[in-house]
Amino acid sequence: MTATLHVLATGYAHDRVASTVTLLLDGDTVVVVDPGMVADRRFILDPLERLGVEPGQVTDVVFSHHHPDHTLNAALFPNARFHDHMAVYRDDVWEDRDADGFELSESVRLITTPGHTAEDISTLAATEQGLVVLTHLWWGADGPADDPFAPDRDQLRAAREQVLALSPTLIVPGHGAPFVPSDTTPL
């Protein structure tokens, strides 16, 4: 099996901020990654509706990190399990686990990639087009090369190198359109 990627909302970070919100479909697994700030919740809900996905059908929500611009609209998905770097949450159950290597489905797994924050995780999806990495290690295709919030520049660089070593065909950044990594992708 392979996952299918849909970008629900393309993020930005200028005078206003919105996260890139994505949907991964893999059999019965329906994953929304970073359902954070958008100008209107319809920018998440309308694309889902066009794809025939009801909010209650979402099985998993992944937070790349805990900044509000990536988590604010999590409550749109009442039946989901919520994943971060250290646990899975559902209703009133908090299950500790390390995100590194955790599989949401046969084609979707998490890895720890500290960089933008010390607790960052990235979502890896095996798709028909190849490996797609959903991550906040990059804000957009052009960086910024020096993430203004990264607490440790060396840690950010190491995580970026780790992701690029996986040879992804596509990177979905925290605040921009998906891009194909190249020799000019900022480290």
Q: Where on the phi/psi map is residue 29: left (φ > 0), alpha (ψ -120 to 50), or beta? A: beta
**Is the confidence at residue 1, as pLDDT, over 80?**
no
Instruction: Flag whether 65 is in a domain.
Output: yes
In a domain, 10, yes or no: yes
Q: Annotate 18-68 with DSSP letters as a single string.
A: E--EEEEEETTEEEEE-----SSTHHHHHHHHHTT--GGG--EEE-SS--G
Number of structural domains (the chain) is: 1
The residue segments making up the domain with residue 57 are 4-172
First to last CA, the chain: 32
pLDDT (tens digit per residue) in 87-112: 999 999 999 999 999 999 999 999 99
- Is 44's pLDDT higher than 90? yes
Encoding tokens for residue 14? 């200028």
pLDDT of residue 92: 97
**165 pLDDT higher than 80:** yes
Strand segments, DSSP code E, in the chain are 4-9, 12-13, 17-18, 21-26, 29-33, 60-62, 81-83, 87-90, 93-96, 108-112, 121-127, 130-134, 170-172
- Structural domain includes residue 137: yes
Inside any domain, residue 180: no
**CATH code at position 47:** 3.60.15.10
pLDDT score of 19: 98
Q: pLDDT > 90: what percent of the chain?
A: 97
Answer yes or no: is pLDDT of 143 > 80: no
- Rounded average pLDDT over 76-80: 98
pLDDT, position 67 = 97
What is the pLDDT, as a whole number, of residue 146? 87
Residue 149 has pLDDT above 80, yes or no: yes
Domain membership flag for residue 154: yes
Kindly report the backbone phi and psi dihedral angles of residue 161, in degrees, each rounded to the nearest multiple of 5, phi listed first. Answer: -60, -40
Label residue 113 by pLDDT band (50, 70, 90). very high
